[in-house]
Amino acid sequence: MSVNTIEHNRRQNHLAGRDEVWLFGYGSLIYKADFAFLEHRPATIEGWARRFWQGSHDHRGTPDAPGRVVTLIESSGETCGGMAYRVTPGVFEHLDHREKNGYLRLVTPLTFADGSTAEGLVYIAGPDNDAWLGPAPETEIAAHIARSRGPSGANRDYLLCLADALAELGYRDAHVEAVAHALRTRDSAVT
């Protein structure tokens, strides 16, 4: 049985018999909640770091020129801040389509701003998916983002909206901040 089959079975079992579940968003799900939710709360997850290492062939790029979007990589001691949404299982038909380009749902513990915890789901794209681009220096990631565009718009908008949303929530993310700074510096040099 493949890892994908095991994960598919695990995520289906996680939704079985539930009227609602928490979903953790760490990328565009923070600022673009185009799905119905019952409640949303700032939250964090432990042991994961956000990185612009996933290709986007379907939203912020094209199959011939993929953009870069965030995924999570395991990173001991790291905390990733985002937004948790309490949703009904029916939203996953839409979300599975939205996150189809290499992302799988995983079960993770969430910690809310008030210190309470819950179990939730998060979409993560690992290095074994076809859209994986992997690590690169932040300046190269910014240059890649600067030239990428897809059906959902310019890749730069994704980056800058994410950086702004994290700042509004009070979450510091050195990687996102470095890529955003490199993009803005690049923009200043061009004008």
25-39 tens-digit pLDDT: 999 999 999 999 999
How close are the terminal C-alpha atoms of the chain, in Å?
54
Return the SS3 of 184: helix
- Across 52-56, average pLDDT: 97
Ordered domains of the chain (ranges, CATH): 3-190 (3.10.490.10)
Q: What pLDDT was estimated at residue 75? A: 96
How many H helices and E strands in the chain? Answer: 6, 7
Q: How far is CA 188 from CA 1, 104, 184, 185, in A?
A: 51, 37, 6, 5
Please say if 74 is a catalytic residue.
no
Cβ contacts of 78 within 8 Å, gap of 6 or more: 46, 47, 48, 49
Which candidate in 93, 99, 138, 177 is catalytic?
Answer: 99
pLDDT of 92 over the 60 cut: yes
Q: What is the mean pLDDT of the chain?
A: 91
pLDDT of 15 over the 80 cut: no
pTM beyond cutoff 0.75: yes
Sign of CA dihedral 29, 31, 36, 39: positive
Question: What is the rounded distance in angstroms from the CA atom of residue 81 to the CA atom of residue 152?
Answer: 24
pLDDT of 122 over the 60 cut: yes
- Across 170-191, average pLDDT: 90
